[in-house]
Amino acid sequence: MNDLLSVLKSKNIIVPDNIAQLLNECKSYTVFNTTEELAEASTNGKENAEFEVEYDVPGKGPYVEAIVQRVKNGISANYTEAYMRRRDPETMVIADDKPTDKKRFTDKYGYPFSNLQDETFEWLKGQDLAVFFYFAGRVNIGSLGIAIAPANAAFFALGLSMLQEMVAVDELKDNAELKSVIFVAPVFRHTHFNGKQVVVHNRTESIHELYSYNLYPGPSAKKGLYGVMLTQAEKEDWIIAHCSAVQSVSPYDNITTFMHEGASGGGKSEMHQHIIRETDGRVLIGRNLINAEERFITIPRFCSFNAVADDMAFCHPSVQKKDGKLRIIDAENAWFVRVDSVKQYGDDPSLEKTTINPSSPLLFLNIETNPGATALIWEHIQDEPGKACPNPRVIIPRKSVPNVINRPAPVDIRSFGIRTPVCTKENPSYGIIGLFHVLPPALAWLWRLVAPRGHNNPSIVSSGGMQSEGVGSYWPFATGKRVIHANMLLKQIIDTPRTTFTLVPNQNIGVWQVGFKPQLLMREYLTRRGAAQLRTDQYQPARCPLLGYELNYLTLEGSKIPSRFLKVYNQQEVGTEGYDAGAEILKEFFRTELQKYLKSDLLHTGKRIIDACLSNASIDEYNDIVPMSFQYEYSFNKIEDYEQSSNNNGF
């Protein structure tokens, strides 16, 4: 369709001048209307089983960015560089002069973005282009956008068209407004950015421009457009949570909705996983890395669950009710699922079934495949001989997920996940978090401000150690001001007192290797019991106040969880000495990260909470600022009522 501009004009859809000029002057462009068309184009035609995405890089010659293969269950793409298989957390830069706490292009690179912008358009004009429309968001929450990419990068366009709902030209409504555009120009990472992933946000008065100078969809098609939506939400004073969510149903028909937040690698995708039994039917809790001891639990019957969201959810005003519970609805059209924990056949039967025989073509990234064969999610490509890529992915449309929830879901348990390293008295670390902890609302807010990225992160390029992913754990993708989001999160937490907060580790508890079992066992237990119904003798203030309440005991279907998994200082390899040293590491991390939020525009209650933390507050002091719902009875549902009842003299 080479008369696209005429069609848009007939529909009274205004196209920015730079886009119109590009389409008028480019070598050629093809408009795509379905993901199936993009899947066919990914290998340069259905007749081709394999295709190399190659560009002529000035000063470097021909360079292959990715090798794309047609497989029985979709399209498989593998990058030629291990670096390109994970998201670089330093990807985002801001080109405009609107308010932001992020690095600006001019400050980082020493020249105005307009120079590179002109070069980008000149390069794109010399390419055969792929063009399509998408809706960034779901269920009428979000905005219309247009994607423009080199036609030979159709696999990238395919991923984008799956993650964001593709809109056929014939389905565009009259007078529709284009609110975002993504330009894809991968050659510039070599010529201008020393091979690094870079995504530039340029927020103009009429449209949010996104320039993707790489072909890994994580920082652009996925998180870049998350940033576009966050920009809209920031203007309108609501939140798009970085979370997964499931509706869990117990064997006794209790229904509990879990919303699991956290930095990349914090267990969001894993909240959708089933617990795998050992061959004898037991469930392995963990393995002691010092003496190889294993501990098991017996669970006769697991809860069933229905998926709500995988990585981001709208907390939009239109889906809220004034009953004290947060309500969410999925913000994505497809899920970007990490499958590093699926290492062999049988590790996740449900996901294996969904990906082996899908209802529509899937996109596999970092999966070792052969043309014409079936892509298997446990066959991870190797970054180097003997070292598997830690970030294998598959994009799965929501419509392919069994029993997915399509309506707003009220959140009962709002958990926060953190990857934790091994902790011993000889080598203390922040791996002192028990199976799960219950958090007062004030502490829950603090955890969402510091949002630790945690140990051995598989999703992003990282130097290791504990780093902050920033406010809401979505800060790497936001374009605006940090404190604005901190304020919105605090208001949201106070306004939803009937949603309970928990903290849950993954990978290690002290010296015990546990993987993602803590959050899965938490899901099993709290679906049956509910955090609001814990007995008062079942929990106590944690030895480290930042961890809220620790559990004294936990019994699941008649099987007791050993105390060493609930209170890490009960492990002889850790003791109080190792625990307290780890607590100091955690406290220092909080002290450092919270300084960023002590600004004049921080809400007064937020300042009180941060001051309390910096003064080593007790649990009772946090509860004095914002009470916990299962400890205190109160009837307010609005933040204004809270301010009046607590005599804070305003925020």
Query: Which sequence spans correspond to the domains of the chain?
Result: 4-236, 415-646
CA distance 512 to 372: 42
Chunked mean pLDDT (size 10), the chain, 651 residues: 86 96 96 96 96 94 97 97 93 96 96 97 98 94 96 97 95 96 97 96 96 95 95 96 96 93 90 92 97 96 95 96 94 93 90 92 97 97 94 95 93 96 96 97 98 77 74 95 97 96 97 97 93 85 97 95 97 97 97 96 97 96 88 37 37 35
- Evaluated on CA atoms 486, 434, 326, 242, the torsion sign reads positive
d(CA 552, CA 432): 15
pLDDT at residue 463, as a whole number: 56
Query: Cα dist. 565→287, 503, 524 in Å?
Result: 11, 14, 16
Q: Secondary structure of 540-580 in the HEC alphabet?
A: EECCCHHHCEEECCCEECCEECCHHHCCHHHCCCCHHHHHH
* Residue linked to tokens 């981001």: 312
d(CA 319, CA 317): 5
102, 192, 230, 439, 621 from 603: Cα distances, Å:
21, 41, 20, 21, 18
Please name the CATH architecture into which domain 415-646 falls: Alpha-Beta Complex (3.90)
CATH of 4-236, picked from 3.30.450, 3.30.1360, 3.90.25, 3.40.449, is 3.40.449
Q: Nearest to residue 502, comparing CAs of 412, 409, 606? A: 412
Sheet of 239-241: strand order equals 239-241, 313-315, 327-330, 409-410
The crossing angle, in degrees rounded to 10, of helices 604-614 and 441-450 is 80
Confidence (pLDDT) at 254: 87
Q: Cα–Cα–Cα angle for 183, 6, 169, nearest 5°? A: 60
Residues in Cβ contact with 561 at an 8 Å cutoff, skipping those fewer than 6 apart: 285, 297, 435, 521, 553, 554, 555
- CB neighbour burial string for 51-70, b if at least 16 within 10 angstroms, e if fewer: bebebebeeeeeeebbbbbb
* Separation between Cα atoms, residue 175 and residue 186, nearest integer Å: 32
